[in-house]
Structures are given as C-alpha cells and as structure tokens.
Structure 1
C-alpha cells in the first residue's frame, strides 16, 4: 500500500516523517542568523516579531530568548500543537494561513528558511507579501529568507538516500516548469510512502516584481546568514529586507 499526497505543504509538514528527515538542521546557524538579523534591523528591546511559517517554532523560541515578543504562525496543526509547549507571556503560536493578514502590526515580520513559493495558487505569492505589508507598522521591516534558486539549480543533486532513525529516505530532485521538485519515498512498518516537495524557483528579479506589485520597497539583499553581499552565482541564500 502506498500513501501519498500532492498538496504537500498542507500534509507533508504535518507528518512525523518530515521532522525526522530534517531533524539535523543546523540550529547554531539559525541562531547566528537571528542574532545578525535582529541587530542589523535594530529591533527595539521587547519589540514584537511575527514568524511566518514557523514550523515547530525553533526560530520563534530563540527570538523570544533574546527578549522579543514573538508570535509564530503556521498552517500545520501538528507543528503548532508541538510548538505550544514553549508558549509563555511573550511567546505564542497559532494555526494561520500566511497568505492572509494576521491583522496585528509588528516591529518585524520574518518568513524564514524558504517557507515561500510552494503555494498551489500562483497569486498567493503576491497575497503573502501583501499580508506582510498589512502586518508591518510604519517603522518596521519585512524579511524573506529564500534559497538562491540560481545557485541551487546549478548544484542540484539529482538523487540520494538518507537513513535516519532506521528509515531510508530516497530523494530525487529536478527542475520542471519553473519549480524545483523533490520526490521523497520510503517504507515504514510495511507501508510505502511517497511525498513531493515543490518550490517555485523564484529569482531576485521575480521578488522585485512581486514587491512592486505589493507596494513595498526592497531595501537590502544579502547572500548568507552572516549578511554578506548577495552574489547570484555563488550565494546560497537570498535574504531580502523590505518595508
């Protein structure tokens, strides 16, 4: 029996297998990024931050430990249920669609770790940026941390296998119709599973067009978590600051 889904962002994120596959993400790198970003933006002490597509809350929890009032939102009910164990007076989590405004204004709105460009509807890319604009106050900044698609495509590993917690994850990656796909297949307790990740291969110029349509202004572009200058051929990340 094979269990699968095509609406991957609504169900793959809600499985325990997603978190097993990506359990070894570099937390120290994420914390360094948050340190650099909050210092660069000069967010006021005790300032409020909205973390869009927060997952299980790793960025939100760390930002809160730095003294910020943080709200994390995500479409995954399981991820938010897990994150809620970390809640306190200045940290809360809620199931919410980031394509829609949260209807509260913040000192900063973060969308981190390529949590953008996977929507079934093309217009939701623009809707998300418009929603971020609505949730910014007059002095705050929006941040989108996306992959550098040009670099990723040039360095795409077509196929590999990872064994984590006894599960062999077979991964196939390819570019098709302007999207980067990853097909993930594995067996667990006698059942075969297949999932697919799909992210639109947006480049800087694509974001610039979206920002113009949304009426926001791109202020800075960085190429990594140390906030070094963006280079289209060699930077691994595309970190955009706007308001």
Structure 2
C-alpha cells in the first residue's frame, strides 16, 4: 500500500515522506508549512459529522462524478486530486474511470472511514500547504463546499494555488453553495435527530460568513458536545473573479449534481473551470 501511494504521488509531482509503520495513508502535515491548526474544521470533521451527513451518500456522489466527467472529460485521465475528500465517496467512483485519481483531507477520522482499497491513494494534509508541484495535475475536485473555510486572504491564496497546480487545459470542479439561496432561506434554529444523535443548530450570517453553532447530544449516553461550521459566503461573480486571477476560465455552471441549469433557486453552484493561461 505504501509503495503504491508513493509511486502514484511521484506521478502527480508529490514528494511525501514514507508512511509511518501501520499508518493507512501518507501524512503530509509533518513537512508542510501550513498555519497552526486550531480552527473549527480541525475539530468538527469526525464520526459525528459522518453520522449527520450520512444522507450525502454514494448515489449522490455517483450522479455528481458521472455528470462532471461528461462536462470535463479531463478528469478521466492523468493525476486528479479530490481535495477535502473525506471518506472518499466521490474518489471511489472517480477512480473507476481514472486510476490516477487520489485524495487529500485533514481529518484522520474521515480518512479512517475510507474503503481499504482507497487508502493507498490518500494523503492527510492542510489544503493551504499542498505538497504538489505546479502544473502537475489534470484536474482538481472540491465537492460539497470545502472552499471558504479561511480568511479572505487565505481563500484567495488557495484559489491561486489551485490554478498553479493545474497543467494547461486542466480543470477545477468547484461544488459550492448557492449563496443567494442560502442567505434568503436561512433557518435561524432547528433540531433534528439522526443516527442516535440530537442536534440543536443555530445559524446566522456574521458579516460575510455563514456560521452554524451546534449542540450535539448522544441519545444513548446523554453526552453532549459543541461544534460549529463557519464558511465565507461567496457569490458566483466573486468566485469567478478569483478564478480569473488564478488563470482559470469558466467552462460550465450547473445548479444540481445531475447537471440541471443554475437558477436563483438551485441548491448548488457547481462551476467547471479550465486552466487557460
């Protein structure tokens, strides 16, 4: 498994250290220059997150990846990075079309949930310090809103870095929220129960960020914890402006994973960009 990961990474222009004995993936945090991790996303993406978002399943991923491959066939050949891949639900499907696709995520908990066959193709790391050479990738996918976690400065820097990682003609799939719909239909507070966990969620716009604060109660033990999500809400024009500065040209936009046209009421904003200059 370690050999396969190192071989694949070399094809993608990555030079990670060897996996530690018994480790299921290569951990790049030890040699990255990323910021010190003390953020909401470090604590939240764990088993509770997986339970609450279990409805985001393999069938949804199959639909999304299949449509993306039709719009951006470049995803089917050469090194393609599924960034913030989690447990690999999109990556598992993409690799059926492209055996050079690989994934990276910060969360050890989610990476442990990945199917065993995927683990040689996984990296653990901070997306602000990607261990990939410029121009090495045919494609990058960011599924289910893994963009906007940081400050504006860091988000802009990340977009620039993603553009630099793509070879000429390479593609970036940006699966993001429909910012206008989110702001217009924001539910300030609700409670749900899923997979044995009760979650009280309070949502608010705090400046330009959508912030959700949660209190989770495990119904079997009564144990509680707090968690949060905080994502910078960018409108499509702002995302496109960032992309242009990164040398990316918008090829196509979809409003659903099935390829539906984007409208003001679409649940998603899915932009397909290509490296143009």
Q: Which residue of 2 aligns with 1:3?
A: none
More divergent stretch after superposition (41-50 vs 197-206): 41-50
Match of 2:33 in 1: none
* CA displacement at 1:135 relative to structure 2: 1.8
Equivalent of residue 93 in structure 1, options 111, 119, 122: 122
In 2: Cα distance, 1:181 partner to 1:133 partner: 28
Q: Which runs of 5+ in 2 are unaligned?
A: 1-37
Aligned to 1:34: 65
1:182 equivalent among 212, 216, 234: 212
CA-based RMSD of the aligned residues comes to 2.0
Tell me which of 231, 243, 258 is aligned to 1:226: 258
Q: Kindly indicate whether the alpha-carbon contact (under 8 Å) linking 1:51 and 1:72 is maintained by their aligned counterparts in 2.
A: yes
The 1:162/1:237 distance shift into structure 2, 3 A limit, reads same
Q: Matches of 1:224 and 1:143 in 2, distance apart? A: 13
**TM-score under structure 1 length normalisation:** 0.87
Shift of residue 45, structure 1, vs aligned partner? 5.0
C-alpha distance after superposition, 1:147-190 (max 9, x if no partner)? 10101121222222121232211112221211111111022334
Change beyond 3 A, Cα 1:44–1:172: closer
CA deviation after TM superposition for structure 1 residue 102, in Å: 3.3
Report the 3-state secondary structure (helix = DSSP H, G, I; strand = E; otherwise coil) of the residue aligned with 1:228: coil
Q: Which has the higher strand share?
A: 1
**How many residues get paired?**
233
Hey, what's the Cα distance between the residues in 1 that align with 2:223 and 2:62?
A: 37
* Counterpart contact for 1:83–1:93, Cα < 8 Å: no
Task: Indicate how the Cα distance of structure 1 residues 83 and 44 shifts in structure 2: closer, same or farther if over 3 A, else same.
Answer: closer
Of 98-107 and 161-170, more deviation after overlay is shown by: 98-107
3-state DSSP class of the match of 1:195? strand
* Correspondent of 1:131 among 161, 165, 189: 161
Measured after TM superposition, the shift of residue 99 of structure 1 is 2.1
Q: Which runs of 4+ in 1 moved over 6 A?
A: none
Within-5 A mapping of 1:14-163: 15-43=46-74, 46-83=77-114, 85-87=116-118, 92-104=121-133, 105-119=136-150, 121-163=151-193
Q: Match for 1:215 among 234, 247, 253?
A: 247
Contact 1:102 1:135 in 2 (8 A): no
Question: Structure 2: how far apart are the matches of 1:95 and 1:116?
Answer: 17
